[in-house]
Amino acid sequence: MVLAHGWGMHSGVWEDVVEGLLDHHRITVLDLPGHGYSRLPAAGHTLNHWAADVLAATPAPAAWIGWSLGGLVAQQAALIAPERVSRLVLVNSTPCFVQRPDWPHGVALPVLRRFAEELRQDYRAVLKRFIALEVHGSEHASAQLKQLKAMLFQHGEPDVSVLEDGLAILETSDLRAELARIQCPTLLLMGQRDQLVPAGAGEALLKLLPDARLHVFPRAGHAPFFSHLPEFVAQLGAFLDA
């Protein structure tokens, strides 16, 4: 298994998930380029570059589990190196994070651009506001927010330029037209109350992916592996062992 985290975070978010699966799986957790303990990319700051960097650092073949931005990287990895991705799990992630005329299942563009504009002024405040959105509407949201804030900088301070790159990737990427090429079994794990990736995106993706199944966690926000850990691990384990 390969686990990829979301924007502005690091591999530490998977700690409890790893604990629940470690007895039966070989697990690789990683920090995306420029995040956590990972060094800044030497060159190339596009989604394709990030996916290539992650592929170079992970075993093959493997089941890829990607949360949010990490799920976008995992989709790109499955497209450019399908032989390396045996199964795909998208956790609150889609091929298109921004609302478009034919895609209502994303973030409004002005919201994402406001985050980008404010990064240089106070990136710490921006990250804290972003994780507040991630837990909004979820069960035990205040406890989850406290947990996320506590781990936010545990792997060091993120580079602002990489945070900007990540937001640019989220804004510009749209892999919908290519999803039919992802032939591996895919599990979509969504939160019913997600404010960043609406649960309706899961139903839309079932029509775009050749071999996909969907599970929506009730009363969950953008991080169901915090709010619904036992159920999350059970869903993930059943899919990987099928």
Other beta carbons less than 10 A from residue 42's beta carbon: 8
In the numeric block, the tokens 């159920």 are attached to: 231
Q: Do 39 and 156 touch, CB atoms closer than 8 A?
A: no
Tell me if residue 103 falls in helix, strand or coil. Answer: strand
Which is nearest to 148 in space by CA: 5, 3, 39? Answer: 5
Residues taking part in catalysis = 68, 194, 222
Cβ neighbours, 10 Å, residue 57: 12
Take residue 166 and report the two structure tokens written for it: 């990540």
Edge-first strand order for the sheet with 85-91 is: 28-30, 2-4, 62-67, 85-91, 186-191, 212-217
